[in-house]
Amino acid sequence: MANVAFIGLGVMGYPMAGHLKTKGGHDVTVYNRTAAKAEKWAEEFGGKHAATPAEAARDQDFVFCCVGNDDDLRSVTTGSDGAFATMKKDAIFIDNTTASAEVARELDAAAKEAGFHFLDAPVSGGQAGAENGQLTVMVGGDEAAFERAKPVIDAYAKMVGLMGPAGSGQLTKMINQICIAGVVQGLAEGIHFGKKAGLDIHKVVEVISKGAAGSWQMENRHKTMNDGKYDFGFAVDWMRKDLGIVLEESDRNGAKLPLTALVDQFYKDVQALGGQRWDTSSLLARLEK
């Protein structure tokens, strides 16, 4: 049992902090920008809540964080009343935000300078994975800090991997999103074509899903896509944020991502259709307009 803080109680952070308390058995203090949600969490799970990130982080062994983007992350760490000001020596800051590799390296350097540890640890598995404590966690940072943090992270994860030095967790998450972009657009075109051709999509998937065309997305999303249901998981606005990070990073490392850039533009069309909160499989809706 450790002393733990969790900063950022969004759709992901709220249940993740809950698992640290209930499954992990840790003493958890939460912070959220909108204080009412932190109070609600503390009441529901029997933990504490703090008024600032700095107050939440004080004297903790592990400080978790899951916020919106690079700016939010800088604000709750190195901003005024940020958590980095009060981190205990040798404590570990674990950032579950999907952010740039750049900010991860920057915060890793700041943490080292101040005598504590930073791990970038973005997750995949969506809201359902957060609620079930079955997330995949892609970690960048030092091995010793990773080994100490892993048993704590396990409370909300089914898979936790150390991918390399600071930033490597974020880079791995980027690969995840690149692959999803290709799979989902291909699947959307396949289903769109199949409907135009008058085929039974369920029968098609039954026959082809175990072979070279098969994917998690095909298995798990073809039904809802065929029914035009897009209220199922990770939202288009968030995917565009992630693809923006990917495309910026590719400008730095020189990777050519023509399909990823194109699919990002397609998601812009989905936003224009009013689909900001539809899930990523709504690329099909765009083809059908």
Give contact residues for a second copy (rule: CB under 8 A).
101, 124-126, 136, 138, 159, 161, 163-164, 168, 171-172, 174-187, 189-194, 196-200, 203-204, 206-208, 210-218, 220, 234, 246, 249-250, 253-260, 262-263, 266, 287
Q: Report in angstroms how near the CB of residue 243 gets to a second copy at its nearest.
A: 11
CB of 28 or CB of 139, closer to a second copy = 139
CB of 88 or CB of 192, closer to a second copy = 192
CB of 87 or CB of 162, closer to a second copy = 162
Helix (H, G, I), strand (E, B) or coil at 266: helix
CA distance readout (Å), 203 to 23, 198, 209, 223: 40, 12, 10, 11
Q: Where are the alpha helices (DSSP H) in 115-167?
A: 126-132, 143-153
How are beta strands 123-124 and 135-140 bridged, if at all?
antiparallel
CB of 61 or CB of 249, closer to a second copy = 249
By C-alpha distance, which of 136, 106, 143 is closest to 121?
136
Q: Report in angstroms how near the CB of residue 129 gets to a second copy at its nearest.
A: 8
CB of 44 or CB of 219, closer to a second copy = 219
Q: Report in angstroms how near the CB of residue 12 gets to a second copy at its nearest.
A: 14
Q: Report in angstroms how near the CB of residue 128 gets to a second copy at its nearest.
A: 11
All residues at 6 or more sequence positions from 213 whose CB lies less than 8 Å from its CB, including other chains: 190
Q: Report in angstroms how near the CB of residue 80 gets to a second copy at its nearest.
A: 33
Distance CA 4, CA 24 (A): 10
Q: Report in angstroms how near the CB of residue 203 gets to a second copy at its nearest.
A: 6
CB of 97 or CB of 170, closer to a second copy = 170
List 173, 196, 229, 241, catalytic entry: 173
Distance CA 98, CA 111 (A): 19
All residues at 6 or more sequence positions from 64 whose CB lies less than 8 Å from its CB, including other chains: 4, 5, 6, 7, 13, 16, 17, 20, 94, 95, 96
CA distance readout (Å), 16 to 101, 157, 223: 22, 9, 28
Here the tokens at position 236 are 């288009």
Distance CA 83, CA 73 (A): 10
Asked if 155 contacts 19 with a C-beta cutoff of 8 angstroms, the reply is yes
Distance CA 170, CA 215 (A): 23
The residue type found at 188 is: A
| 173 classed as catalytic | yes
Annotated active-site positions, please? 173
